[in-house]
Amino acid sequence: MSSSFTIEPSRRIAGTMQVPGDKSISHRALMLGGVAHGATRVSGFLPGEDCLATLAAIRSMGIDIEQHDATTITVHGKGLRGLRAAPGLLDMGNSGTAMRLFMGLLAAQGFDSTLAGDESLNRRPMERVAVPLRLMGAGISTTHGRPPVHISGGRKLQGIRYEMPVASAQLKSALLLAGLYADGDTVLTEPAVTRDHTERMLISLGLPVHRDGQTVSLGGGGQLTGTGIRVPGDLSSAAFFVLAACLAGEGELIIDNVGLNPTRTGILRILELMGADLRVEPAADSGAEPVGRLIIRPSDLQGARIPPELVPLAIDEFPMVFVAAALARGETVVSGAAELRHKESDRISVMVAGLRALGIEVEELPDGARIRGGSFSSGTIDSRGDHRVAMAFAVGAARAAGPVRILDTANVATSFPGFVSQAAAAGLAIKAERGD
C-alpha cells in the first residue's frame, strides 16, 4: 500500500514536546541485554519497526522479553553463550543497524544464522563489516556484498588491531560485539570519532572499555551483568522539530528529555553555525547518556561551509542540513559525506533531486552538494522510501509557496512512530494519506 504526506505552508511552531526513545540505544539495549547475565529493564524503549525487528530476532533466539507497556521492557539475559539458533532466517526489516550489529554478535555463536531484510536493506553494502569479522576468524558470506548474510557457527574468534577505513558507529559496534567473544584484545582506530552508545552501554553492564583519542579497545573473556537502562529521546528525531522551529515565523518550541551525547550533537553545532537561535539545558543527573532540554526560536539561517569534522557526528541528520541550506541565505557546501550514498537511499542524489523539484539551485558533488539558498515552490517529492528524507522535506515544506506532496512515506514508522501527530501538534499543517 502506498503512502504520502501533504504539507501546506504554516507559520507558527510552538509548544512543549518529547520525542520517542533513541533508536540506536534501543537496538543495543536489546542485544546486550540478551547476552548479559540477569534482567535488564529498559525504559523509554522505541517501539518503532526497526527496533521491533531486533526484539523479534532476540526472542527467536530464546531470550524472554517482557513488555510492560509500549516503552518499558525487561530483557532476561542468558549470558554470552545463552543464545540458541533461530527456527528460520532473522528478518531485519529496514534496519541497517540491526543487520550490521547482529553480524558481530552472531559471529562467534555455536549455530548458523542468516540475516535478511526488506528490498531496501537488501541493497545496502555489508562487506565493510564482513571483511574485518573474517579477519577475526568469523565465517561470513554475503550475497554479492549485500544481504542476505549467512554466518557459520562454531568459529573461534581472535581479537585484532584494526584501522577502520570509514567513520562508522555500526562497523565499530559490530566489531566490539564480536570482541566480547574473542581471545585477546580488540583494538579499533577510527578516522573520526563516531557515536559511542555501545561503549557506554558495555561499561554500564560491567565491562571496561578503554578509549585513547580515536582508538577504542575491549578485552575478551569478560561478562555482562543486567542493569537498568534509561533510553533518552532520540536527538535524530528531535532534530526535525529543531529545524521546524528555526524555520518558523513565530513561536517557541521546547523539547524535553532529549539525548545530548556529544558524539550525536553535530546537528546542533551545524545549525548553530548557520545561526540557529537554540539553547541547550543539560539535566543534572542523566545516567550513562547525557540528557537535557532544547529551546528553539525562529532563526535567520545563513549558508555555511560544513566543517568535515562534524560530518560523522551528524551523518543521519544530513537530510535536514540539506533542507536548512536550501532555506538559508547564501551558499552552503557539504563535503566529506560520501557515506550518505549508502543509507536507506542514496541520500545525496535523492535530496538533490528533491531540492531541484522545489526550485532550489544545487550542484551535486561526489561526497556532498553545493546548495544556493532560496525558497521552496510547491511540488511533489519522491522520498524513495527513506524515512529521514521524507521527514526532512515535511519540515521544510512548511516554508513552501504552496502545498508539497511527499511520496513513499511508509518507512517513517521505522524510526518515528507518531511523527505526523506530533508534527501537527507543534503547528505543521501535515496530512498523511494511504492509497492502493
Catalytic residues, by residue number, are 316
**C-alpha distance from residue 96 to each of 34, 39, 101, 325, 391 (Å):** 19, 27, 8, 27, 19
In single-letter form, the type of residue at position 260 comes to: L
Alpha helices by DSSP H, listed for 92-212, are 96-106, 127-135, 169-179, 197-204
Catalogue the E-assigned strands of 220-340: 228-230, 253-259, 277-282, 291-297, 331-334
Hey, what's the cell of 139?
A: 565465517
How far is Cα 199 from Cα 204, in angstroms, rounded to an integer?
A: 9
Burial of 1 (0-12, 13-18, 19+ CB in 10 A): exposed
Nearest to residue 319, comparing CAs of 267, 264, 253? 267
> Measured on CA atoms in the order 49, 44, 245, 96, is the torsion positive or negative?
negative
**C-alpha distance from residue 345 to each of 312, 340, 349 (Å):** 17, 8, 9
Q: Please say whether the beta carbons of 111 and 146 come within 8 A.
A: no
In single-letter form, the type of residue at position 307 comes to: P
**Angle at Cα 307 formed by Cα 302 and Cα 309, nearest 5°?**
145
Hey, what's the cell of 373?
A: 539558498
Q: Please say whether the beta carbons of 31 and 102 come within 8 A.
A: yes
- Preceding omega of 403 cis (within 30 degrees of 0): no
| Cα 353 from chain centroid (whole Å) | 23
Classified as helix, coil or strand, 392 is helix
